[in-house]
């Protein structure tokens, strides 16, 4: 995912407080130069604030890539509950159980960045 000026502006305030002039069929018109503020109670952020804001959104998203990878790699919740049930029934509610091993394998394969 790549964040845009529009994404940053949406993150600042709710509602339709901004828009763009020079509308075209593609998104090329969504530039700072074409930015207009429709709400008199809101001020136009500086271009440098917008650039920094887009970069911050992108950095936060990119920094969470491991979370998205892990979420996709974990077994389905119903499968995890079944593993946990069988572990508890076998008195393996510790690190020797199959549920723990399955979760640990995912965490080890997609380590959290330091």
pTM for the model: 0.75
**For residue range 90-108, what is the model confidence (pLDDT) as tens digits?**
999 999 999 999 999 999 9
Residues 17-26 pLDDT 10s: 999 999 999 9
Extract the runs of DSSP E, i.e. beta strands, from 27-98: 35-37
Using CB atoms within 10 A of its CB, is residue 43 exposed (0-12), middle (13-18) or buried (19+)? exposed
Structural domain boundaries in the chain = 5-63, 66-109
Question: 47: Cβ–Cβ under 8 A, 6 or more apart, which residues?
Answer: 32
Residue 96: both structure tokens together: 């020797």
């Amino acid at each position: 995912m790549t964040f845009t000026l529009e994404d940053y502006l949406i993150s600042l305030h709710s509602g339709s407080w901004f828009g763009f002039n020079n509308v075209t069929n593609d998104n090329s018109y969504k530039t700072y130069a074409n930015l207009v503020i429709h709400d008199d109670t809101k001020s136009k952020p500086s271009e440098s604030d917008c650039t920094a804001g887009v970069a911050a959104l992108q950095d936060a998203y990119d920094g969470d890539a491991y979370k998205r990878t892990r979420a996709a790699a974990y077994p389905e919740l119903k499968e995890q509950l079944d593993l946990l049930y069988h572990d508890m029934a076998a008195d393996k509610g510790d690190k020797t159980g199959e549920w723990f091993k399955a979760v640990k394998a995912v965490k080890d394969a997609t380590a959290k960045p330091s």
